[in-house]
Structure 1
């Protein structure tokens, strides 16, 4: 399991009403419990079929990378609020943002792309379901507010669109 996947799990558990979360797969075990300031993850690796070695790891849910992303997002949201002529396309769900249908496929939109209300602008993956997101506005993409592969929140602005 990659560290990015663990970070995403931590963030989802932190935002949920769960107090405890346990995940086991292929000899790896992650156990998260909510505390005031951090979550504790326990990693177990099987060296032999009968031997498990547990290594507790304290993971801070307020990592620098997440904090920087939130600051950048808040700065961009303020920019939207300042310029009322710009419309925003927001995420209808919590999930992972993707600019294209696959890594090899071209991106749906980029800065300068003209979109209509029915135009597909991205995909948000939630629980292994890939949801195509429509623009729901007419205009031109002037800014992409999130990065490919980034975890997004419900209602989080994804794109800024200048109306026609």
Structure 2
């Protein structure tokens, strides 16, 4: 199951009155539960099919920003201004969760991608760490990275643009 498919399911559940959702397909299991303004996402896949183990991830809905999160909420305001200045045809790779953005697989290693790099839809472009789990984020489209919108080690919000990609 691809991360963008999980994101779409989260959006649909968030917009509905459903409190609990379970899906089992091709050896993957997804369970979503709403409670106190948070959604808990559990993704399980066979070990051979996924090199990274998946576990519970808390995703805060973008509409329920707490006063504590106000400084982090200021970062996404700058991204739309940048995106508006650029071509409207650019694809945004967004964060699927709240976490810490890492541009490389380990400290001291080169970044997965930089501005000007060509990517395909399944190319890993960064990692977002949430609750000690390192989630690889894929490009989702074939194209060229035009701009990296966040800094290494920066906290990112759910739905925050991370990269701008010129699709091929």
Range into which the TM-score falls when normalised by the shorter chain: 0.5 to 0.7
Shift of 1:71: 3.9
Cα deviation, residue 93, structure 1: 1.1
Q: Residue in 2 aligned with 1:30?
A: none
Which residue among 126, 131, 140 is the counterpart of 2:135?
131
CA positional deviation for 1:74: 3.3
Give the corresponding residue for 2:89.
Answer: 85
How many equivalent pairs are there? 106
CA contact (8 A) 1:88 1:160 kept: yes
Distance 1:162 1:91, change over 3 A: same
Unmatched segments (≥5 aa) in structure 2: 1-35, 39-65
What's the secondary structure of 1:73's corresponding residue? helix
Shift of 1:124: 0.3
Alignment check: 8 A CA contact 1:86 1:162 kept: yes
Q: Does residue 157 in structure 1 map to residue 164 in structure 2?
A: no
Rg comparison, structure with higher value: 1
TM-superposition CA deviations, 1:25-55 (whole Å, max 9, x none): xxxxxxxxxxxx966xxxxxxxxxxxxxxxx
User: Hey, which of these two has a bigger chunk of strand by percent?
Assistant: 1
Q: CA deviation at 1:17?
A: 4.9
TM-score by length of 2: 0.55
Deviating beyond 6 angstroms after TM superposition, the runs of 4 or more aligned structure 1 residues are none
Indicate the residue corresponding to 1:96 in structure 2: 100
